[in-house]
Chains A and B, each alone.
Chain A
Amino acid sequence: MEFLNYFGEVFSLINILTLIFGTIGGILLGAAPGLSPTMAVALLIPFTFHMPAEQGLIMLGAVYTSTIAGGAISAILLKIPGAPANIATVMDGYPMAQNNQSKEALHYCFISSLVGGVVGIIVLIFFTPILAKFALKFGPSEMFWIAILGVTVIATFDSGSVSKGIFSGAFGMWIATIGTDPIIGVERFVVDPIFAGGVNIIAALVGLFAIPQVFSLIENKLNESDIFQMEKRKLIDSIKYNISRVKALTVGSVVGTIIGLIPGVGGQIAGLVAYDQIKKFTPTKADKFGKGEPDGIIAAESANNAIVGPSLVPLLILSVPGSPTAAVLLGGLLIHGIFPGPDLFKMHPKVVWTFIDSLLVGQFFMCIFGLYISGLAKYVLRTPVHYMAGIIVVLSIFGTYSVQNSFADVIVMLSLGTFMFLISKLGFSAAPIVLGIMLGPIAEANFITAKLIADTQDGIIMYLLDGPINQVMIGLCILSIAYGLYGEILKKKKIK
């Protein structure tokens, strides 16, 4: 019950204001079509660099949570999911809006997100310390494999192609070797002295996630169709109905929690699986799904918010993120000098528990502000995309520069971003590259330590293969690649 000791910290004036600001901002960012939670968190990281660690993480956590819920607004009113996690919400949300039930649909969305989100955070609170105790047994070889597993899992799940995902991950890990070698002190691939410390994580994050979004907004102008007017609907009626849908809420929350714990699987999978499951669990309503059935929204939204907490369990303890947004959040932890690992709760208990507690409180704020803001969101939905693109470029440039007053970082950010947009057209994904850049140094430091130990024993290969935990990690790497390949084969068969 250690989390209760730090609960009061969330309610200090500055922390609560940060949480409210992050929640409202996140809902509006989520509502804006084309801005994903991953991009929103990446763009915010430079700003949190100037804040104390606690506030910075509270802000990022609030934005992470509320962008997913906010994404349902454009999914329901415009038929454009604000985030990939809201794809399943469109299926019944938009038909409900067409049936003059848009306000009712938005009510269900935020109430279900609250239920799913709270379930997910409770799992995070109780699961993380247990995993941390287990992970304390890990040595350098285990930590090396954990870093490799993190990149492998994101590479195989987040990309359409396993080979391209692994290519992206290896490319990111190669980029991470730029700079001074951590043991021998040799400068590698340093074309300018500014790179002696390696490629700045924030420059890479902003470049890889925000700049490609600018090009996408410019290239594919979104269809700004008419936005539905809100009908009159009492909130209490929606709450009563929503709570009575126990089956949909349970299916969504359980599916979201399980999928969140699996590293690398995003909210869109959780939403779609929950939607599919609730259809199977309620065969009597099968023909109503896709035509404006509230259970579809309730299951999908509770699932996509339930993944937030569990996706942070492997991130905080093993540095293996549960979703692409959690991977970006890893960057937020690293810039505040907080290195995820088994001893995280011993080294930074106040910061970590305040962050987790703020996620729990943030769920309630997300629901309250979401219900209120959703009525005003039509103004955000009407923001022209070319203004959005301009705003992202300017914020990316100033945000990246502000971290260490380096123009070289801005050059890296813009170059990587343009490069990422071009290779994304070839089917390569940003998340494995980012994770390679972030986990590369962890893999290298542990590999070198392992090598120093192994040189006095049977050699590095035997050392890395020895022990049940190492073998399980290697097995999981192979399993994730095999599963990714299996998924690819199934997908191709379906297309045929």
Chain B
Amino acid sequence: MIKINNTIVLIVASLIAIFLSYLSFSSGNSAAYLLPRTYSVILVIIVSILIISYLRKKNEFYKELNLKKIFPTIIFIVLFILFGEELGFYFSTTLIFFFITTFYSPGEKNIKSLIKAGVICSLFMCFIYVLFSLMLKVQVPEFILFSLAN
């Protein structure tokens, strides 16, 4: 559990402001960059205000972040971004759905609960296939699952 206070807020806001300012001011002198530069200056001004606020109340507490709990989902999202297109949407999202429903299930994890999650997952993915591929005619990257149907 990470406790978030003003220090973390300030670091994140500063990093965003510095990064966007760097991109805006290092991209040539075209008039096209006038507004991005204006916005990044506003971001820097707000960060300055946050610094003043930080000096007054350094340890103001905001919220808790349960990183341990959400970390596996973040990993799955990163894996989807890296391999989702190659593995196909139906295959990779089935894995994500099955993972979320079993890993975060509050009950006891046994064969029965896994089969139940598997059945619900399969039915839901069939619904998604009917909705997107058959009704809306959306061509998603398919890989193995459902590719034989077309």
Binding site for B on A (CB under 8 A): 47, 50, 163-164, 166-167, 170-171, 173-174, 177, 181, 183-184, 186, 188-189, 214-215, 218-219, 221, 384, 386-387, 389-391, 393-395, 397-398, 401-402, 405, 407, 410-411, 414-415, 418, 421-423, 425-427, 443-444, 447
Contact = CB atoms under 8 A, between A and B. Distances in A.
A305 to B, nearest CB: 30
A102 B150 CA distance: 50
A219 B4 CA distance: 15
B25 interface: no
B20 A390 contact: no
Contact of B39 (A174, A181, A186, A401): A174
30 contacts: A163-B49, A163-B50, A164-B46, A166-B42, A167-B43, A171-B16, A171-B39, A184-B30, A188-B27, A218-B69, A221-B104, A221-B106, A384-B106, A386-B104, A387-B120, A390-B98, A390-B100, A393-B96, A394-B97, A394-B128, A397-B89, A398-B131, A398-B140, A405-B139, A407-B141, A415-B81, A418-B77, A425-B63, A426-B62, A427-B9
5 smallest CB-CB distances across A and B, nearest first, come from A181-B32, A386-B104, A186-B32, A390-B100, A174-B39
Given A171-B20, A387-B120, A398-B89, 18 more contacts: A163-B46, A164-B9, A166-B42, A166-B46, A167-B50, A170-B43, A171-B16, A181-B32, A184-B31, A386-B105, A393-B93, A394-B97, A398-B128, A398-B131, A402-B140, A414-B77, A414-B80, A425-B63
A218 B141 contact: no
Nearest to B46: A167
Contacts of A393: 93, 96-97, 100
A183 B32 CA distance: 8
A150 to B, nearest CB: 15
B100 A386 contact: yes
Chain A interface main SS type: helix
A421 B98 CA distance: 22
B68 to A, nearest CB: 10
Given A386-B101, A391-B124, A423-B12, A171 B70 contact: no
Which has the most chain B C-beta neighbours within 10 Å: A174, A215, A391? Answer: A174
A393 B47 CA distance: 33
Contacts of B47: 167
B120 A407 contact: no
Contacts of A422: 65
A173 B66 CA distance: 30
B66 A398 contact: no
Nearest to A402: B138
B43 A425 contact: no
B97 A384 contact: no
A189 B101 contact: no
B30 A186 contact: yes
B121 to A, nearest CB: 8
A163 B17 CA distance: 13
A170 B20 CA distance: 11
A170 B140 contact: no
B146 interface: no
Nearest to B96: A393
Contact of A389 (B13, B28, B100, B128): B100
A171 B8 CA distance: 18
B36 A177 contact: yes
B77 A189 contact: no
A255 to B, nearest CB: 31
A418 B67 CA distance: 12
A188 B43 CA distance: 18
A394 B62 contact: no
Contacts of A218: 69-70, 73, 100, 104
B136 interface: yes
B13 A167 contact: yes
B35 interface: yes
Interface in B19-46: 20, 23-24, 27-28, 30-33, 35-36, 39-40, 42-43, 46
Most buried by B among A384, A390, A407, A421: A390
Contact of B69 (A219, A423, A447): A219
B53 interface: yes
A38 to B, nearest CB: 20
Contacts of A415: 81
Nearest to A224: B106
Contact of B23 (A170, A189, A410): A189
B122 to A, nearest CB: 12
A418 B65 CA distance: 13
A447 B35 contact: yes
Contacts of B100: 218, 386, 389-390, 393
B39 A177 contact: yes
A49 B85 CA distance: 22
B140 to A, nearest CB: 6
A401 B138 contact: yes
B136 A426 contact: no
